[in-house]
A and B are shown apart, each in its own frame.
Chain A
């Protein structure tokens, strides 16, 4: 078996921006003094005239992005998820989303896999914040292949898009034939007992969970949900009807993210038990990313455990 390729989705973001820059002359990239970390530095190197460093002032960066976009530019604005969705939440809400301006937010270093920087930089609230804004599109790719396709798709979408990327190098899940479409979940495995719906770096861990369950004679379906908003209701309800219970998995607070979106969908149309794997409404802490993912239960074992509990609930 070939070596597993591991790449951070932020790396794929930087590369995709360069690819887009070659095709789209009206593309401008903004950053808030984190170009080396967010990987917009790749674009800066390739197109120095179309890269603007806004300094450590994320709120202003969002407004500048909006102003540029009204003059016909496609603007990508980048920072860490904490300072994009968190610090600049209201600027995104009022100056970007309310007028539905064509700005893409590239938020890197999402979730606890930021690692050693600790809780102040580990944003597990961003999906919840962005999800409550009308007209916002939220993309949370699972690997570098999907991240690239998400960036290219975002550039072709009119209006605000929030893209969530990670710091940690993660195993590649998809091959070159993978088709990405905004708003569409994808079955990665068919199953009959339970459906796991995963997003971001939890997708690879969910694939491992499917194998754990299989070893115990449990048939688990798996859906990759890269678009958190608009959520693919059709595939969620299909899963609810086919397997009668669901487990969600995400590197985000269990409140407000994918788990919430799935619960909202099934509770209004086809109620089935939904158990959520995520950060259990606590702040993160410093440590190696892989250790933290174990510590916070963002792993295959926990997904498999929750799957069994979901099946038990269904059979009650």
Chain B
């Protein structure tokens, strides 16, 4: 990927991060940490990869995206707004009673959301069902799904994985957001899912390990998944929870709490500086 393209993606990811902070700050609640850790992969998918049309969000042969870690809704809403599915201004209505941007994504309220998620472990099954539909129809679309590393504790993730491999759902790519933290602490302390790549391999996946903030690596993984003819692909992404807002980085307390006015200002200042630096290059 050339530098111009990378810079464009990085600028969009900055906007996504600002959208996350804007939403969570205005809602006075929400999940910034695990939203910030997936900004790059969401940006890559929605800017470079997914065949989706904001003017026709239910188009039959569109690629599908399922955010199985539905609590990262602020990130999904932010990238959908960037892609023009709805006005960016609406991100400020996150979690308000009269807003369509509910705390967790609802496919009937939000243009561009392909599956209602929030209860962990369930989105991946729906993504698998979509990939099965694609297979039955001759592979007209691909299916992408993001699961959290803490989410791997849900047995249903492994039911879905066994099924996806057994049915040869090669149009399915599952990203694991391995930011190493869940609500109660580090994932090793709580209930370790490690080693993650070996588990997906044993379940019959094509497994790729990458730095989840590196666009070249994300692109290479997505392209490798598309070459797979038999197996579903699992992309294990090493990420930093809270990435981009220094005081939130790798800090377990920012899993599910909102910044106050002072913290909000500091976060926005930092993200604006990142944008400016990219623009100045």
- Which A residues have a C-beta under 8 Å from some C-beta of B? 28, 52, 54-55, 57, 59-60, 62-73, 90-91, 94-95, 98-100
Contact = CB atoms under 8 A, between A and B. Distances in A.
Contact of B132 (A52, A57, A91, A94): A52
B60 A68 contact: no
B3 interface: no
Contacts of A62: 125
Interface residues of B, number: 34
Contacts of B60: 71-72
B126 A59 contact: no
B125 A70 contact: no
B124 interface: yes
Interface in B85-134: 106-108, 114-116, 118-119, 121-134
B159 interface: yes
B162 interface: yes
A55 B167 CA distance: 11
Nearest 10 A/B pairs, CB to CB: A67-B129, A63-B125, A71-B133, A60-B159, A64-B129, A57-B159, A67-B130, A67-B126, A99-B116, A94-B119
B229 interface: no
A68 B137 CA distance: 11
B163 interface: yes
Contacts of A52: 132, 167
24 contacts: A28-B136, A54-B163, A55-B162, A55-B166, A57-B162, A57-B163, A59-B156, A60-B128, A60-B156, A60-B160, A64-B129, A66-B115, A67-B126, A67-B130, A67-B131, A67-B133, A71-B130, A71-B137, A72-B60, A91-B156, A94-B116, A94-B119, A98-B106, A100-B108
Contacts of A69: 129
From B64, B116, B121, B166, name the one whose CB has the most chain A CB atoms within 10 angstroms.
Answer: B116
A291 to B, nearest CB: 37
A67 B159 contact: no
Contact of B130 (A57, A70, A98): A70
Contacts of B134: 71
Interface in B56-100: 60, 64
A94 B122 contact: yes
Nearest to B70: A94
Contacts of B119: 90, 94-95
A102 B232 CA distance: 26
Contacts of A72: 60, 133
Contacts of B162: 55, 57
Which of B115, B126, B156, B160 is packed against the most chain A CB atoms within 10 Å?
B126
Contacts of A98: 106, 116
Nearest to A62: B125
Contact of B115 (A57, A70, A100): A70
Given A55-B162, A60-B159, A67 B125 contact: yes
Contacts of A55: 162-163, 166
A197 to B, nearest CB: 35
Nearest to A28: B136
Contacts of B155: 59
A100 B115 CA distance: 11
A99 B156 contact: no
A239 B163 CA distance: 50
B124 to A, nearest CB: 7
B204 to A, nearest CB: 13
A315 B159 CA distance: 58
Given A67-B130, A68-B133, A100-B108, A59 B125 contact: yes
